[in-house]
Structure 1
Amino acid sequence: MTSLADWLAGQSVDPKLASTVASMAAASVEIAGVLRQAAIKGQVVLASGTNVQGEQQKALDVISNDIVLKHLRENAAVSILISEELEEAVHLSNDGKYIIATDPLDGSSNLDVNVTVGTIFSVLDAGKGMLQPGSAQLAAAYTAYGPATNLVLTFGTSVAVFTLDDVGVFQLTDDEVEVPPATSEFAINTARERFWDEATTTYVRENVVGESGRAGKRYNMRWVGSMVADVHRILMRGGIFLYPLDSETVTKGGRLRLLYEANPMAMLIETAGGRSTTGKQGILDVVPTAIHQRVPVILGSAEEVQRVEQLYSTSG
């Protein structure tokens, strides 16, 4: 087996970039350990506050953020942390080359029912400022805390999957992940149908009618409600994830955050041969205007995303 440390040592990237990824991986190992004991310690309940998004925090949101911050403070290569849980960016006391943008514990609302949750992160060049498009990312990754703990990572050339072993070391289990171009699964929250735009409504209805629809095949719907869980399934076996702009989220610009949710997931999916879009433009082309900016997110198997893009192009 090849450990993450050995794999990173063999990559043609700046050693300080590799060490930045290693620090986030170490934070993930610690978070995985905390999650295993969370229910026993009563940590799946809500904390007393809300985050900058106005969302109620679980105790584990705060704990996970603190773990990430601790590991990054120990790495002189990182100068700035942008976190979903913090209103302002944290400027660490060094002149490090890199920025980490992260959702320390994505999907935490599912913790009380033991659903897969995760840590998502993006690495950017600190010399270019905090508001960079996704195409400028130097690395993107997520850790999925499920029956196994997987770290899924890209530097932009391929997507590798690592699995946490029984002694706390990430071991390489797949180094050439490819998203199948076609699929018969879609992931969307159908309870929001009344808010959808025309393109989304048309796409889903075409799928639901099955063989008689535009795609000429039967579809299944899958929706976990944890972005890491939904995207991990799509990355492994194909599918499409949709959280489009709708009449309720339009004033916020969308539901998911660009810098630390949409961009890293889009980079992973596109590197693996899939596609991503807001419906109007490629996610990786969006130039951010704020660190907590929200955008619509549609990503997954290339043929399905292209169908959605065509519907947007003709729906006005």
Structure 2
Amino acid sequence: MTTRTLQDHLDGWAGSDPLRRDVATTVLALANAGRSLAELLSAGPLAGAMAQVRGYHTDGDSQKELDVVADEMVRDALRAAPVALLGSEEMEEPIELNPAGTLAVAVDPLDGSSNIDTNLSVGTIFTVLPHIGADALLQPGSQQLAAGFLLYGPQVALALTLGMGTHLFVLDRPFGQFRLIEAEAQVPAETSEYAINSSNARHWDRAVRSYVEDCLTGSEGPRDRDFNTRWVASMVADAYRILVRGGIYLYPGDARRGYGQGRLRLVYEANPIAFLMEQAQGAATDGLQRILDIVPESLHQRVPLVFGSRGEVERVSRYNQSASNMPERSPLFGRRGLLRA
């Protein structure tokens, strides 16, 4: 195993550049918060009723006890960092931390909190932006200085991009250090795995339904190969799998009330994941538009999200652009239909 630590990696990248040094300090603070949170999570029910619903956001989403604890841990870790402005899923509005700070940070402190009491992976997602004033968190994702997520599973992993590739680290627990395990993660352009919550199929639009149907028909259909379905209900777990071996993740908007623009947040969920994917030669869109080109209108703005292997993400975009881009589905033209052997 490499002996290169996260600290080594960040020091080498930052050099003597003041802004990079600030980014490095902030990423280390977030990693330290993640390390502490991982210890709490490893205690499971012994740590208390962390899955208990503590309240609800204004949009109706529940807030678990551990959501609040994780938010407090991240906030405390960043107080000594050069972070002027902090936004979080757990706060209605951003808060000021360090008036002299050069950075703005937005976080989802605990992605996948519905899995807290089931011993499945959860995570922390973050984005780091230059502080340009009160609206610093409303910059498009293309302005991110760094982004990543921590995954709390059998391993405590960190996926990180500083705009120069996507790097994977794993926590070496006995030494309390994150160590580099993959210097240049590459998402294969093609894949045979897709992740989507199929229980919502009846609410999808035609393009999404057609894409999934093509995958389901496998070698008997227009794709000429079999696909596997993967769905963890923690986006970070699906994202990490895609970074390691490829795949596509879809959380589209659908016909349910309140789901027209999906349910994932642009600023602190979609943007950091999109940055990671693009830096690993993958792609991320809202089904049509590149995620990193979208200018946020509010901190908690929602957006449909499709990310992963570039070839599959682009296929979904083509399906959304025009029905003429979808393969023929008539039994007459099926692979084993009347006109095909």
The reply to whether TM is greater than 0.5 is yes
Corresponding residue of 2:274: 266
Matched, 1:89 2:94: yes
1:94–1:289 CA distance, 2 compared to 1 (3 A): same
State which structure, 1 or 2, has the greater radius of gyration over its C-alpha atoms.
2
TM-score (norm 2): 0.89
| Percent of matched pairs sharing the same residue | 45
Q: Give, in angstroms, the shift of residue 250 of structure 1.
A: 5.8
Deviations 1:99-145 (CA, angstroms, capped at 9, x unpaired): 11100000011011100000000001111622111111110100000
8 Å contact 1:46–1:56 — kept in the other structure? Answer: no
Q: Give, in angstroms, the shift of residue 56 of structure 1.
A: 1.4
TM-score (norm 1): 0.96
Matched, 1:5 2:10: no
Corresponding residue of 1:42: 48
Corresponding residue of 1:161: 168
8 Å contact 1:161–1:172 — kept in the other structure? Answer: yes
CA RMSD of superposed structures (Å): 1.4
Deviations 1:201-228 (CA, angstroms, capped at 9, x unpaired): 0000011001132221100100011101
SS at match of 1:231: helix
Q: How does 1:130-149 map to 2 (within 5 A)?
A: 130-149=137-156
CA distance in 2, matches of 1:40, 1:290: 38
CA distance in 1, matches of 2:258, 2:206: 14
Q: Give, in angstroms, the shift of residue 153 of structure 1.
A: 0.2
Matched, 1:20 2:26: yes
SS at match of 2:45: coil
1:111 maps to a residue whose letter is I
1:84–1:252 CA distance, 2 compared to 1 (3 A): farther
Q: Give, in angstroms, the shift of residue 34 of structure 1.
A: 1.0
Q: Give, in angstroms, the shift of residue 252 of structure 1.
A: 5.5
Q: How does 1:187-206 map to 2 (within 5 A)?
A: 187-206=195-214
1:247 maps to a residue whose letter is A
1:59 maps to a residue whose letter is E
CA distance in 2, matches of 1:252, 1:99: 29
8 Å contact 2:188–2:245 — kept in the other structure? Answer: yes
Q: Give, in angstroms, the shift of residue 253 of structure 1.
A: 2.3
1:90 maps to a residue whose letter is I
1:298 maps to a residue whose letter is V
Matched, 1:56 2:62: yes
- Structure 1 residues not aligned, in runs of 5+: none
Match among 223, 244, 251 for residue 215 of structure 1:
223
The number of equivalent residue pairs is 315
Corresponding residue of 2:183: 175
Match among 281, 303, 308 for residue 311 of structure 2:
303
Deviations 1:154-202 (CA, angstroms, capped at 9, x unpaired): 0111111111112321111111100011100000000000110111000
Corresponding residue of 2:35: 29
Q: How does 1:72-151 map to 2 (within 5 A)?
A: 72-75=78-81, 77-127=82-132, 129-151=136-158
